[in-house]
Amino acid sequence: MSKDIVLRVVDIWKRFGQVEALKGVSLDVYRGELLVLLGPSGSGKSTLLRIIAGLEYPTSGKIYIDGEDITDLPPYKRDTSMIFQHLALFPHMTVYDNVAYGLKIRGIPKDEIDRRVDEVLELVRIRHLKDRKVTQLSGGQQQRVAIARSLILHPKILLLDEPLGALDLKLRKELHIELRRIHQEVGNTWIFVTHDQEEALTLADRIGVMNDGKLIQIGDKWDVYEQPKTRFVAEFIGETNIFECRVVEVYGDRVYAEWRGLKLGVKTDREVKPGESMYLSVRPEYIGLSKDKPSNEGYNIFHGMITDEVFRGSYVMYSIKLDNGEMVKVTVLSKDAEYDPGDEIYLYWRVDKGVPLKE
């Protein structure tokens, strides 16, 4: 993927009366990527999408598409198309009429409309439903109509606002695969909004995490998962253990911190000083378990007792009470899960798997 910027969002603020929905969001979106904006309810995701689509006007800030300032353009003059949270299909129309809507409005000749409708329905694989009323379709089929209705206009940027929110888990998973396929076939840029971290990890090339009207972190989905910058990001994406500790010794990028009477090794590029407090995030799958005391260099090793196990199908999550009384979550693949509650155990993780957070 080339790093050619198609959409540029610059310092967008948006106020609704007393509510500050967006507080200075800046964002570059690359051509052809599938960017997922992830954030809890009320974090401003929909507002940001609506501003990009032109359905809402920002209090301040600018939007550029291919270098052109489009902040003041109405929606119908923008090369974007939006798929809404509740799809917003036109209930009084057939699939054909819904999909053809944007072209009919523009006065495109009928035979070209027919050709393009067939083409896009083929792409989303519902050509056989062309003459059905949209109210007579299943949730997944309606989803496809909504996508076709937007894609037929060949938008440079497709904006999707939690379009799978209303569907059950199995159907969502099916559609995730379909969405990725369609995205690859069409090759345009997608911005997909969701509050479901699993959905984000499944779909995204890159993930942007939003909270409280701000974009907290954006990057490759692996980086965001493995190197969260703040406690919010670490806890919002995936499961994690957060250790609240205090820096005691610093040797370059090697830091020792005190955590409830235990000494932890941490690796960090950040400037830290002894006495500073620090949050450390360690993902449960990066922590290993062993009955005998391991003697590995470069690992943090602690002793504790298993208090609980939860079977989650392909893996098991253990709750472990350390000797200092703190609880730690550890996940182990089911095939290696040979421990029981009550077992005395050693747990260990590589020093560089602990991620210091900026709070």
Ligand X SMILES: Nc1ncnc2c1ncn2[C@@H]1O[C@H](COP(=O)(O)OP(=O)(O)OP(=O)(O)O)[C@@H](O)[C@H]1O
**Applying CB under 6 A, which of residues 46, 81, 150, 240 lies at the interface with ligand X?**
46
* Residue 237 · residue 73 · CB < 8 Å: no
Task: Please choose which of other proteins, Mg ion, ligand X, none residue 39 contacts, taking the beta carbon within 5 to 8 angstroms, the exact cut-off set by kind.
Answer: ligand X
305 binds, among other proteins, Mg ion, ligand X, none (CB under 5 to 8 A by kind): none
Tokens of 287: 């922590």
Toward ligand X, which CB reaches closer, 218 or 264?
218
Positions 125 through 144 that interact with other proteins (CB under 8 A):
135
Nearest distance in Å: CB 181, ligand X: 26
Compute the C-alpha angle 128/133/139, nearest 5°: 80
Strands, E, within 49-114: which ranges? 60-65, 68-69, 80-83
**How big is the site for ligand X, counted in residues (CB under 6 A)?**
12
State the nearest-atom distance from the C-beta of 7 to other proteins, in Å: 16
Amino acid, res. 322 = L
Extended beta strands in the chain, E state: 5-16, 19-30, 34-38, 60-65, 68-69, 80-83, 157-161, 189-194, 206-211, 214-220, 241-251, 254-259, 262-267, 277-282, 288-290, 299-311, 315-322, 327-333, 344-350, 355-357
Cβ-based nearer residue to other proteins, 163 or 208: 163
Q: How far is the CB of 78 from other proteins (least distance, A)?
A: 9
47 binds Mg ion (CB under 5 A): no
Q: How far is the CB of 246 from ligand X (least distance, A)?
A: 35
* Beta pairing partners, 218: 208
Measured CA to CA in angstroms, residue 285 lies from 196, 264, 282 at distances of 20, 18, 9
- Picking from 266, 275, 241, the residue whose alpha carbon sits closest to that of residue 353 is 266
Question: What is the DSSP track for 172-223?
Answer: HHHHHHHHHHHHHHH--EEEEEES-HHHHHHH-SEEEEEETTEEEEEEEHHH
Interface with other proteins (CB under 8 A), residue total: 27
Which of 55, 73, 305, 351 binds other proteins (CB under 8 A)? It is 55
Kindly tell me which of 43 and 331 has the beta carbon lying closer to Mg ion.
43
- What is the footprint of ligand X within residues 245-284 (CB under 6 A)? none
Site string for ligand X, 166-205 (x = CB under 6 A): -----------------------------x----------
Distance CA 145, CA 100 (A): 11
| Binding partner of residue 197 among Mg ion, other proteins, ligand X, none, CB cut-off 5 to 8 Å per kind | none
Nearer to other proteins, 54 or 213 (CB): 54
Give phi and psi for 208, each to the nearest 5: -115, 130
CB of 20 to ligand X, least distance (A): 8
User: What tokens were used for 115?
Assistant: 């050709």
Cα maximum dimension of the chain: 76
Give the three-state DSSP class for 266. Answer: strand
Q: Which residues of 30-57 are buried (b: 16+ CB within 10 A; e: fewer)?
A: bbbbbbbbbbeeebbbbbbbbbbbbbbe
211 binds, among ligand X, other proteins, Mg ion, none (CB under 5 to 8 A by kind): none
75 binding other proteins? (CB under 8 A): yes
Given candidates 29, 34, 35, 44, which one binds ligand X under the rule CB under 6 A? Answer: 44
Site string for other proteins, 144-173 (x = CB under 8 A): -----xx--x--------------------
Which DSSP state fits 134?
G
Binding mask 86-115 for other proteins (x = CB under 8 A): xxxxxxx--------xx--xx---------
The CB-of-103 to other proteins minimum distance in angstroms stands at 9
Interacting residues toward ligand X by CB under 6 A: 16, 19, 21, 39, 41-47, 195
Interacting residues toward Mg ion by CB under 5 A: 46
Interacting residues toward other proteins by CB under 8 A: 50, 53-55, 74-76, 80-82, 84-92, 101-102, 105-106, 135, 149-150, 153
